[in-house]
Every structure is written in structure tokens, then in C-alpha cells.
Amino acid sequence: MVSVELVKRYPGFTLDVRWEAEDAVVGLFGPSGAGKTLTLQCLAGLITPDAGRIVVDDRVFLDTAAGVALPPQARRVGYVFQGYALFPHLSVAENVAFGLRDRPRAERARRGAEVLERLGLAGLERRRPRELSGGQRQRVALGRALAIDPALLLLDEPLSALDAPLRRALRDELRELLAAWGTAAVVVTHDFTEAYRLADRIVVYEAGRVIQSAPRAELLWRPASEAVARIMGLSNVLRGTVLKATPERIQLRWRGQTLEAVNSPTRSYLPPPERPIAFFVRPEYVRLIRKDRGAPDALHHMNLMRGRVVGEVDFGTVWSLRVRLDAPGPPAQGDFDLEVEVPHLVYEILEIDRDRHWEFSLHRGSIHVLPS
């Protein structure tokens, strides 16, 4: 269990966050400069906040109201720094055993060897950090942090120092490793995919604040606000006007169309009519209506729109089409209204490269309303 409450003021930036997690791995996700790393430094005791309280399991690391502030040495947290901060003058074995100095010599050697073995670093004991590959360095940094049996493992952008192909492989390896060691961890990342793969719970940071904290699946399917959706990098984050809201449905107007969306009963979000409303549409959920299959019936083709493909990008397995609706007024996203993803096969069968004018349909379940 990790419980964090922090206020730290700098000229031009204030960190003011509060979150709690029972989960094994917590991801702090958000753009650079949002205060994620600062939170890690406060957790480790490297920076003392102006006010706050940090509790890990049953140990109070910090309680400014009670005058408690454990020094980093007394917290027993394993910190994996961005860029790893391995001691360049020490060997792999010495790096890993660095935090074990208070233990008897035999115990130190045993534990060091055990960690090296478990992380697949056996045989590299005498190498210096500069003689290792990026992936090996990451494992040495992990091993050095894990060797002390940390109450909490802190990882700051653990994959950012690696090349792209290696990143993906090591992301999954890291996930397995965290699960295998069973150590509670907090991972900082600005990459949503990384946060989603590594963390059970994701805490979204923006400009020194937490704008959502949720289990990862909930965050993926139900971002709490437009800001969260934009930080997650979702496509088609749009703004319309409410026509009518019930606990089951929300009717809204957008670009001259009347759209029907599913409301979330658990959230019971009931904005009044004429209120601006944000929503997003996953580009892979937009349906292209085939012209060879007869007239679309209203039930299966709700939220029907007509538009022209004005741009397209080949992503290898899918085409991303930029569609401009046949509606007066400026398009919603620069020179287009909707991003639509179609698989290569569909693109070829329908000959979209020649036929640019189409009808599109949005199932109401694929329009995700974003409460403000």
C-alpha cells in the first residue's frame, strides 16, 4: 500500500498531488515536467516537500504535520534512475552489492550472487558499466535496487535510455520481472503504452496535479476528462453540445449531426442541454458503410455521416484515413473531422485509393463521453 500526499512549491511550478494505491505496480503517467519524477524523489527522500505525508505499507516515511521525515538511508526504497546512475568506477558485482555493506561479508556475497543469477547477469560480475549493453545496464540498476529487499521499488522512465526495438522487448521482460520479485513498484513514464503494460493502476499527472487515478483498464476505456484523453494521445477527441442526457443515453450535436452516445450509468453524468461536451471516438471503431450491400438501415447504422477522404497515412497493417464531413463550417480537427482506421485488406477491397466519398457510422457504444 502506498499513500502519497505532497505539496512542493517552486517559482513557476507547484506540485500538489494526492493518490493512493493498493496495487502491486503503480504507473505515474503524464507529459514531461508534470511532476512525476519529483514525486519519486519525494518518495525516496531525496527531496523534502513543503507539506505532505507518505506512507508505504505501515511505515510513515514523511509526515510534515508530525515533523516526521525519514532520510533516504532509512526508507529502504530501491531507486532505478533514468539513465541508471550506475557507479562507473565499480564492477557489476560491486554495483549490485553496494547497498549490502551493513551485512556480514558471507551474506553480502551470497545475496549479490543470487541477484546476479536471477537477473541473468552471471558471468558479467567483473565488467564495468561502460562495458555493458543498454539492456544489461538496466538489469544491473534493477539488481542494485532489488538487492536491498526494498519496501518499494521506484523506476524513473526505466526504458527511455534504450533503443526502440529493445524497448519493446525489455518492457515485457520488466513486467515479468516485477511480477516475479513481487516488490511493490512505482514506475514513471510519459509513454501510455508503457504505463499500460507495466502498471496495474495508472495515476495521470498534468502540470503538478493528478487528473485521474484508476486501474489501467478503466483508464483506457473511461478517461475521466478531456485533459486525460488528450494526454493519453487519443485520436478524435472532439467537442459538441448536449441535446439531451439520460442515465442511459446522451444525445449531442456535433458538426451539424445529431449523435447518440451511451451514458455510463455508474457515472450518472447528466449535463444540462446546451452544455458543451467533450467526447472521443476510437478511429478503429468507425464503420465504413459498404456501397455494395444495399441501403443502410437505421438500427445497424446509427449516427450516420457522409464525408470525403482528404488524407491518409499507411501504418503498415492499417490505413489511417482523414475524413472531412459533408457539412458546412470549419472541420473539427484542422482540415479534417474524423480519423478513421481501416485494415489494409478493407482498403484494397473497397478501393479507397480511388473512391474517396463514403458514408460512416458510429455505434453509440463507441462514442465515449468525457465529463468535464
Locate 232 and state its grid cell.
493519453
Q: Choose one: 41-49, 107-115, 185-193, 209-217; the region binding another protein (CB under 8 A).
A: 41-49
Residue 112 or 307 having the CB closest to another protein: 112
Bridge partners, 277 (sequence order): 240
- The answer to whether residues 313 and 320 touch, using CB atoms and an 8 Å cutoff, is yes
Site string for another protein, 116-145 (x = CB under 8 A): ----------------------------xx
Instruction: Output the smallest distance, CB 85 to another protein, in A.
Output: 4
Window 140-179: residues binding another protein (CB under 8 A) = 144-145, 148
Which of 12, 101, 292, 354 binds another protein (CB under 8 A)? It is 101
81 binds another protein (CB under 8 A): yes
- The answer to whether residues 141 and 84 touch, using CB atoms and an 8 Å cutoff, is yes
| Three-state secondary-structure class, residue 199 | coil
61 binds another protein (CB under 8 A): no
Residue 14 or 82 having the CB closest to another protein: 82
Residue 145 or 174 having the CB closest to another protein: 145
Whose CA is closest to 6, among 79, 63, 82? Answer: 63
Instruction: Output the smallest distance, CB 152 to another protein, in A.
Output: 11
Instruction: Output the smallest distance, CB 61 to another protein, in A.
Output: 12
Say how many CA atoms lie within 13 Å of 227 toward its Cβ: 12
CA dihedral of 151, 153, 154, 155, whole degrees rounded to 10: 180
Q: Which helix (H) or strand (E) holds 142?
A: helix 134-146
Position of cell 482506421? 341
Q: In what order do the strands lie in the sheet with 209-215?
A: 77-80, 152-156, 185-189, 25-29, 201-206, 209-215
- The answer to whether residues 190 and 203 touch, using CB atoms and an 8 Å cutoff, is no
Which of 99, 112, 223, 283 binds another protein (CB under 8 A)? It is 99
CA dihedral of 195, 196, 201, 207, whole degrees rounded to 10: 40
Which of 55, 85, 166, 289 binds another protein (CB under 8 A)? It is 85
Q: Choose one: 23-31, 43-51, 289-297, 301-309; the region binding another protein (CB under 8 A).
A: 43-51
Which of 18, 24, 55, 72 binds another protein (CB under 8 A)? It is 72
115 binds another protein (CB under 8 A): no
Query: What is the β-pairing status of strands 367-370 and 276-281?
Result: antiparallel
Instruction: Output the smallest distance, CB 96 to another protein, in A.
Output: 10
Locate 149 and state its grid cell.
529487499
Which of 19, 29, 61, 79 binds another protein (CB under 8 A)? It is 79
- The residues of the shown chain that bind another protein, judged by CB under 8 A, are 44-46, 71-73, 75-79, 81, 83, 85, 87-89, 98-99, 101-102, 144-145, 148
